Amino acid sequence: MFWSRYRPHVVATLSLGLPLIGSHLARMAIGVSDTVMIGWYGVEELAALVIATSFLIILFFLGMGFGTGVMGLIATSIARGDETEVRRGTRMALWLSGIFSLLVMPPMWFAEPILLALGQTPLISEMSQDYLRIAGWGLLPMLAGLTLNSYLAALERTQVVMWVTLAGLPLNVAMNWVFIFGNLGAPELGVRGAAIASLSVQVTQLLMLVGYAAWLPVARKYNLFQRFWRPDWPAFWAIFRLGLPIGVTMLAEGGLFVASNVMMGWIGTKELAAHGIAIQIASITFMAHLGLSNAATVRIGQAKGRGDAAWMRDAGVTVTALSMGFAVLAVALYLIFPDALVRMYLDPADPETPVIVAIGAMLLFYAALFQLTDALQVVALGLLRGVHDTRVPMWIAGFSYWVVGMPIAWGLAFPLGFGAPGLWLGLVAGLSVAAVLLLIRFWRGWRRGDWTAQPPAV
């Protein structure tokens, strides 16, 4: 009885979620290839890449709300048979993504004085700015691509999203090999070479997504790119109001991790390099939960469009249970193979490698502590986005990460002298509070029937 009730939800969630997990992992693998290859190039270059990508990720998080938020809206509109709302929402999400990308370019162009003011060394700050002046232009194709990913995911074309993302991995590795190390007669550019590779891949992937979205027969009725230049101000502001809180929520969480990068830089370069590796390993397993969270947004959005409370409940329980299963596997991986995981990022011949491995393996123990709560908070956010609830989760995230998590991280690391482990315990605290509060909000709203009311049109 139990299995027959949930089996369709498990199959449908995995059918949607696994390709999304694959696409997130492929996207992460591109970042990992940058980190690994720069790690082979030099420790100082690796530290600069950690700081530069943290800077870029902060802006990406703030801008990604428009492309992420539109996913639930599209799923709901499709379930209601409202073709016009699908087109309007997606178009204006693309507009907002492009406008945001251009507005935030100046801070990336002049990143060096900002990083110096944040306590980074002159060399790290200079190399980070070199990276951002090239890679920063990739923010526009990244955010536009995210919006098209959401559009295609709501249409349940997640496999295409995965294959497009995967196609960028070998291209990125090849271009890194050429431009970081100066192979095939190219100049040896170090971190700037990694930036060139990343930008090239992002533009290529966007062109592929645009081509597929324009070609897809089932989507032609939406006329997504017809008269794309024409503004739709009611939809523009509706997507702005829906997406901005998501961006702020992502910024609150991502900013917690980025702030930990900055504070780790105060402790030391080796600690920062090890921290960057441990964070990226944790991010790899987090992609499983993020993919399931995206699947939750689509399926909960569909339930909202139909006004089906029972279906919404079962879909929410299913995606939460699946995410917990992935979290348990991640914990086992971190605890059994910590040294091997960290060594993958480093040159065995580098004399500093043993020290960085020891620090990174220690940090993976703390990463194991927050796997369950990190999974729960991102799935809860996916559930809430499916019902278009974004403002209150924004305040919950801000409280959890910055009123709880950050003070604990700073207090344990510096006044109490725990150093790097103290920073990570602060991360655990912030994520745990967020998970509890967000889950309470979703299920309390479901019991009251708030989430199955028909949404207003954009």
In a domain, 410, yes or no: yes
- The pLDDT assigned to 457 comes to 45
Q: Say which DSSP state 457 is in.
A: P
Task: Round to whole Å and give the CA distance between 131 and 192.
Answer: 5
Question: Is residue 279 in a domain?
Answer: yes
Q: Which pLDDT score is estimated for 368? A: 86
* C-alpha count within 13 angstroms, C-beta hemisphere, residue 379: 31
- The distance of Cα 22 from the centroid of its chain, to the nearest Å, equals 13
Full-model pTM: 0.83
pLDDT reported for residue 24: 82
Total residues found in the chain within this entry: 458
> Using CA atoms, how far apart are residues 270 and 355, in angstroms rounded to an integer?
8
Q: Is residue 458 a part of any domain in this protein?
A: no
Residue from 83, 216, 73 nearest 147 by CA: 73
Report the C-alpha gap between 129 and 152 in whole angstroms: 34
Which residue range is the domain that position 441 belongs to? 2-452
pLDDT digits (tens, 9 = 90+) for 165-213: 889 989 999 999 999 998 988 888 888 999 999 999 999 999 999 999 9
List CB contacts of 110: < 8 A, sequence separation 6 or more. Answer: 129
Q: Which residue carries 């060399």 as its tokens? A: 123
CA distances from 428 to 25, 69, 226 (A): 23, 26, 47
In tens, the pLDDT along 359-369 reads 888 888 888 88
Number of structural domains the chain divides into: 1
Determine the Cα–Cα distance for residues 180 and 418; give it in Å rounded to an integer.
Answer: 36
Cβ atoms of residues 193 and 34 within 8 Å: no
The sign of the dihedral angle between the CA atoms of 185, 189, 191, 192 is negative
Whether 457 maps to a domain, the answer reads no
pLDDT in tens, 128-142: 999 999 999 999 999
In this structure, the number of other CB atoms found within 10 A of the CB of residue 365 comes to 14
Residue ranges of E strands in 233-283: none
Residues of the chain predicted below pLDDT 70 = 1-3, 453-458
Whether 440 is covered by a domain: the verdict is yes
Let me know if residue 350 belongs to a domain.
Answer: yes
List all residues 6 or more positions away from 80 whose beta carbon is below 8 Å from its beta carbon.
Answer: 305, 306, 454
3-state secondary structure of 186: coil
Separation CA 197–CA 30 (nearest Å)? 10
pLDDT, residue 277, reads: 84
Which two three-digit tokens encode residue 1? 């009885």
Q: Which residue has the tokens 């801070």?
A: 107
CB 442 within 8 A of CB 383: yes
Q: What is the pLDDT of residue 454?
A: 57
